[in-house]
Structure 1
Amino acid sequence: MNARFKDWIDARKHADNEPICAYLYDLDHLEKHTQKVVSSLPGRFRMYYAMKANSEREILKSLSSVIDGFEVASLGEVEKAKEAGGNLPIIFGGPGKTDGEIEAAIRLGVERIHVESVQELRRVAWIAKKQEAQMPILLRVNLRGPFPSATLHMAGRPTQFGINEEEIPQAVRLAQELDGVKLEGFHFHSLSNNLDVERHIQLLHLYVNKILAWEKELGIQVTVLNVGGGIGVDLLHPEQSFDWDRFLPPLTALEQGLPDTLEMVQFECGRYLTATCGCYAVEVLDLKQNHGKHYAVIRGGTHHFRLPVSWQYSHPFEVVPVERWDYPFPRQEVVDSPVTVVGQLCTPKDVLAHDIPVSRIRVGDVLLFHNTGAYGWSISHHDFLSHPHPEQHYFRLASPLAHVGGEF
C-alpha cells in the first residue's frame, strides 16, 4: 500500500467520521514513471498522452512537464490541454468531430488532425480553406489485421474507427487534391491494453511496412506515423503488465531501420502512463448476506468507477482497517469468507468485485482499489442517482496537507 494513502485515511478518520469516498493520486510516482518511459524512447519516437484516460487538471499539469504532447478527442480536451500544457503540441483524433470543433482546433493551433473518414477529410479541408489555413492531417486507417489479443479492438473488424484499408488510395488522392489540408502520414490505433511485447513489435512492423508500400504505390512521402497506444496494464496481476524494458531493444532496432524521410513516430498512450498512480478509496457502509453470499456495500460504486462492470472483471482491492467505531451497538464483520463488493446504485450490476476471499472486513473499514489512475472516474456515469462525487486528492512528497481536491 502507498504509505501516504494509508496516512491520509488514518488522519481523515481521526478528524471526522464522514464515510470516505475518494480518488487518491501519487503525482511523484506519475512523473517518475512517465519520465522513465519518455526518456527511454529511441530517436524519432515521441510520447503523446491520450487524455481520455484521465483528464483531471492536476494529472495534466504533472504530465505536461515530461510528455511530448497531448492526444485529444474533443474540443473540451483541447481546452484542457491548452490550460495545462501551454504550447505543448496537441493532436486531435476520434470520430464525429463537429464543424465547430474543427474550426476551433485550427484556430487554436492544434498540431495535427487525425481524419476518420473521407467525408471528414472533405469537411476539414473545406473549413481550413475558409480560414485561409492548410491543416496538417493524418489519415486514420482501419487495417484488416490480424492483431494481437487485447481488451478492445478498434480495427481488423467492423468498427466506427478509421478509414477502411481498401479506401486508402482514394483518400490519399483526395487529400492531395484538396487545398485546405496537408497529408503528412497515417494514424493506426488498432487495439487497447495489449500485454504481449513481441506481438506489439510485430504490430509496429506491420504499420511501417504498410506506409512503405503506400509510399511506393501512391507516390507519397510519409513524414509522420502515429502508432497509437494500446500498451497495457494487467489490473489483476500488475507484475504481468507490458514489459517496457524488454520492449526497448526491438523498438530501437525498428527505429534504426526507418527511412530518413520519416521524421517522427508518435505513441499516444494513456493507461500505461497513469493507471498505477491512482487508487479509489471507499468506506464499507454495510455488510449483509443474501442467499448464502456476503455483500459489502460501499460508499461509492460503478458511477465513480465503471471499468470493472464495463470489462466484466473483479478489480483487486486491499482492506484498510479503521478502528474508529462511534455506534453503541456491535460492529458487523465477515471473517475468512468470500465477499462481493457492491455500490449504492439501484441496480444489481453495480458490482466492483465478485466473491473475493477476505481474511477480515468490517463495517467502517476502507477498501483501497489499486491502479485506478486511468479509465476510472473519467469514464463513469457520474450523476446516476445524484450521489455526491468522490473527492480528488493529489499527493507529493514535499507538499503539506491541503484542502479537499488539493495536493498532499
Structure 2
Amino acid sequence: MERLSDVIQVITDHKTKQQAPLCAYVYDLEGLRAHTARLSAPLPPSVRLFYAVKANADPRVLQAIQPHVAGFEVASGGELQKVRRLFADTPVIFGGPGKTDEELIAATEARVALIHVESIWELQRLHWIAAERQTTARVLLRVNLRQTAPGATLHMAGKPTQFGLDEWHIGEAIRTALALPSIDLQGFHFHAMSNHTDEQAHLAFIETCLSFVRQTEKTYGRPFSFVNVGGGVGVHYNDPDRQFRWDWFAKELHLLLRRHASPHWTVIFELGRLIAAHNGYYAAEVLDLKNNYGTYFAILRGGIHHLRLPAAWKMNHPFLIIPINEWRYPFDRPSLFGERVTLAGELCTPNDILARDVPCARLRVGDIVLFRYAGAYGWDISHHDFLSHPHPDFIYLDSSS
C-alpha cells in the first residue's frame, strides 16, 4: 500500500532545505518490504517468487526485497555482480538473449541456480565452458511459445522476436541438451510479455506453459523440475485505482496448479514491475509555465532522461501536484487554474513529455509534480547523461536506517 502522506512530507522537507529546483527519486523501503511480503504470502507452496533485477537495481531496493523472495533474476553480468556484491549465497537465475562467454563464465563461477538458454549455439558454448571447469550447468530452455496471452504492453513471444527458441524448433534443443554431459536440463522458461494486466488471461497463459511441459515429459519420457512462467504482471498506469488482483490471482493459481501441475514441478515467477513500481516516486519541480499555439506547457526540472517510461510507451504517467507555498522572487508567480497542461521536461527534444494534455486544478512555478508508480523501469532504463543535466537526488524512506 502506498504511503503518499509520508512521501509528500519527505519531499516538502527536502525542498525547504534547498533553493535549487528539486528533482528526486523517492523509494519507500518500508512500503516495499511490506508490499513484497504481501505478494509472496498467498502463493502456493510449489511456487518460488524471484525478483527481476532489471526493474530496479538500486542496492537499497535489492536489500529491502531480498528477505521476501526466493532469489533474483539477472539479465547481464553487471546485474549478477550487483547481486553478488550484496548477497553471496542468495539463489540467482541468469537470463538474457545475448550472453557473452565472459558472462557465462561468470554465471558458472558465481554458482547461479539456473541459466536460461536462448539458442542451441548458446547451449553449446555453455557446455564447453562448463566442461572446461569440470562442472555441470543447470539450465532452462527459453521457449518462444506460439500461443501467448493478449493484452500486454509488450510481447516477447508468439511472434518473431529475438527471444528464446521457436516452439516448433524446441525439439532439437532438447535433444542437444540431453546429449551434452556438462548440461543438466532442468526445465523450461516461458517469459513472454511485459505489463500484462488481465488476471484471467495470465492464468490461461500459465496453463499453456504447464501443458507444454507435461506434453514434453511424455514425448521424451523423462521428468523436468522447473516451469518458469517468467514475469510480465503489470501496473495500470492509466487507471491507478484498478490494479492487478494479486490475491484473487494467487487463489486461482492454487486451483490451476492442483489441476494441471505435476507434484515434482517447481513453478517460478520472475516479477519486477509488480514488486518495485508501487513504492517508487519521481518528483520534479515546475520551472516554467507557457502557452504555445493554445497549449499550456509546464517545464519541469527533470524529464525522460530520468523517467523514460512514459515517452517509451507513449502514455501519460500518473501524477499529483505537491503545492509549495514559498515564493522568493519579487514579481508575480506564474500560475494556472483549471487548465489542461502538458508536462514537459528540460531536454532539447519535443519527445521529452511525461504527461500530455492533463487536467490540473492549480499549477504554479515552484510546485512539485510527483509521479507515482516510478519504482520500476524508471531511472534504470533512462538515458541519464543526455545533455549532462544533474542527476536527481535519491531519497529513501526507511525508519530502520
Query: Same fold by TM (over 0.5)?
Result: yes
Residues of 1 paired with 2:376 and 2:86: CA distance? 18
- Give how far 1:398 is off: 4.7
* 1:9-408 alignment runs, 5 A limit: 9-257=11-259, 258-262=261-265, 264-399=266-401
Letter in 1 for 2:271: C
Residues of 1 paired with 2:262 and 2:13: CA distance? 57
Contact 2:149 2:204 in 1 (8 A): no
Residues of 1 paired with 2:14 and 2:268: CA distance? 42
Scaled by the length of structure 2, the TM-score of the pair is 0.97
1:405 paired residue number: none
Letter in 2 for 1:144: R
Q: Secondary structure at the match of 2:62?
A: helix
Residues of 2 paired with 1:69 and 1:398: CA distance? 23
Task: State the Cα deviation string for residues 326-365 of structure 1 (Å, max 9, x = none).
Answer: 1111111111110100011110000000011111111000
Residues of 2 paired with 1:12 and 1:25: CA distance? 14
Aligned-pair identity (%): 46
Q: Secondary structure at the match of 2:196?
A: coil
Scaled by the length of structure 1, the TM-score of the pair is 0.96
Letter in 2 for 1:31: R
- Give how far 1:254 is off: 2.2
Structure 1 runs (4+) greater than 4 angstroms displaced = none
Q: Which moved more, 1:220-229 or 1:10-19?
A: 10-19
Residues of 2 paired with 1:67 and 1:351: CA distance? 35
Task: State the Cα deviation string for residues 103-144 of structure 1 (Å, max 9, x = none).
Answer: 011001111100001111111111111111100000000011
Q: Which moved more, 1:221-230 or 1:251-260?
A: 251-260
Structure 2: unaligned runs, 5 residues or longer: none
Residues of 1 paired with 2:92 and 2:163: CA distance? 20
Letter in 2 for 1:87: D
Contact 1:169 1:218 in 2 (8 A): no
Residues of 2 paired with 1:168 and 1:206: CA distance? 15
Contact 1:64 1:84 in 2 (8 A): no
Contact 1:300 1:344 in 2 (8 A): yes
- Give how far 1:196 is off: 1.1
Letter in 2 for 1:148: P
Aligned residues: CA RMSD: 1.1
Q: Which moved more, 1:145-154 or 1:290-299?
A: 145-154
- Give how far 1:37 is off: 1.0
Letter in 2 for 1:385: L
Residues of 1 paired with 2:37 and 2:93: CA distance? 20
Contact 2:71 2:91 in 1 (8 A): yes
Task: State the Cα deviation string for residues 228-248 of structure 1 (Å, max 9, x = none).
Answer: 001111012123221011112
- Give how far 1:83 is off: 2.3
- Give how far 1:146 is off: 4.1
1:406 paired residue number: none
